[in-house]
Amino acid sequence: MIVRHALALASIVFLLGCHGDAPKRYTSGDTGQDAETNSRAETGGDRGTAADAYVDASALGVDAQTDSNSLVTTDSAMPDRPGGEVIRAPDAAVTIDSGSPDQAADTGIGADLAADLRSASDLAVDAGAGVDLAADLRATADRAADAGAGADLAITDAATGAADADGEGPEVGESADSGCAPVGSISVDKLPPIDFLAYHNQQQIEGYLQAVAAALPAIAQYKVLGQSGQSRDLPYLVINATCQASPPAVFTNGTHHGDEPASTESVLAIPDYLLRKSTTDTGVRGLLSAYAFYVLPLVNPDGFALHTRENADGVDINRDYSYPGRSDADSFTTVEARLVKSLQDNVGFRAAIAFHSGAQEVIWPWCYTGDATADGAFFMAAGQKTAQAMNFTIYQQSYDDYPTEGEYIDFAYWRSHSLAATFEVSTFKTPSTASLASAVDGACKGAVAWIQAVNDRDKGSLHALPGAPAVRKRFPFTAPFDGTNRLE
């Protein structure tokens, strides 16, 4: 990057800032909720409704001495929304979301911005930034004028003068300067704080994921998979510190069942646990270097809001997936399962963990049949290793617990050969706030153990632990069961 562009770019940022107030930005804050009003008892209750503790307004403008870190680029690390992208100055807190209809209307992106960009191009020449930058700004202005408020506005890198044809910025995990943001170079001191002394509501969950992405934009990307039946977002985070554009990926998801909030909290803890642990644990650092992580805490946000197992239409999402005994056409009646399917099909995860609560066990495919999978030996060894890490005694093929049809893990294994498992992380669906942190910690340790087993297999070094059973181990069934559904 060329420092002499700073004055011109500061002018650009100032002009962009004139087109509306800066949207809220999410920064670290206290996640604690009032224990008397917002904690949930074992038998249920209302989740906290406290305002999102991570919301903080950002300031516009950049210092005249700013350097290339204040270049305005397309931000692929912000929420996906139909109809537009986001442009930002990474360290300058200038964000324009052209995918938000209300914001686009308020900011008036279009002809006025185009005129300002043309003026900025002249300033770029005057400031000595060069004709390449000026030409790019004029081209961007023309595109802004032609496309209007929904335009994909890309201001190109002044160091190269090359326009980004698809409107995307650097891939997450790839630095624009070095081409790589390895996990060892990450400053976890920037991570927002989070604890699990109380449950988090949807606003806080979204705010926290956004705060992680804002704190570590080189490796973390906040996205929204889509909207539920009642138009609630399904937010997720992608962490990619592999220095690969398309690395093998791991999917962690929670809240298939809306009345199992311990599963939500377990998935929400994954980013903080992995990133902080990577500073001292070489094994965790190796996993972050080998895999991208997709973190989706809320598969069923409507059920989460309603405190029901099913979604808003009364359908159990975790019985709505296709599997070898049922086609896609006869499955995916819920919008939420269709959204997860789209992500699964697009990414093809190497490993996946579906978090639930209501029991303490590690289970794997198949759910619909007692036939063993082709990976039965792996599942047994990985299940034992994971159960030990979680201090559980039960690990088995899901069918041996009891048969079910249409579970996510059968779909993921069948469709993508994802090495998938279900973690039941707590005997109670909603453990007391006094025991929540312990359940979450155990879930994170289990996730590391499972993914490490996958990584060992990928490297050809997975071995059964001493004393691993030679045949499938079956455990006495103890959880409530109506013959069709897991009730835990």
Tell me what pLDDT residue 385 has: 96
* 380-439 pLDDT, tens digit each: 999 999 999 999 999 999 999 889 999 999 999 999 999 999 999 999 999 999 999 999
Q: What is the pLDDT of residue 463?
A: 67
Residue 293 reports pLDDT greater than 80: yes
Residue 89 confidence (pLDDT): 30
pLDDT band at 24 (very low <50, low <70, confident <90, very high): very low
**DSSP single-letter state for residue 288:** H
pLDDT at residue 402 in the model: 87
Task: Identify the pLDDT of residue 354.
Answer: 99
Domains of the chain (ranges plus CATH)? 3-23+58-150 (no CATH), 183-458 (3.40.630.10)
pLDDT by residue (tens digit) across 187-228?
Answer: 889 999 999 999 999 999 999 999 999 999 999 999 999 999
The DSSP string of 50-103 is PPPTTEEE------TT--GGG--EE-TTS--BTTB-EEEETTTTEEEETT-HHH
- Looking at per-residue pLDDT, the higher value among 251 and 91 belongs to 251
Does residue 28 surpass a pLDDT of 60?
no
Q: Of 338, 348, 343, 341, whose CA–CA distance to 315 is shortest?
A: 338
φ, ψ of residue 356 in degrees (nearest 5): -135, 175
Give the pLDDT mean for 63-89: 32
The pLDDT value given to residue 185: 76
Among 91-100, 263-272, 348-357, the minimum mean pLDDT is found in 91-100
d(CA 426, CA 221): 29
pLDDT at 476: 54
Model confidence at 464, in pLDDT bands (50, 70, 90)?
A: low
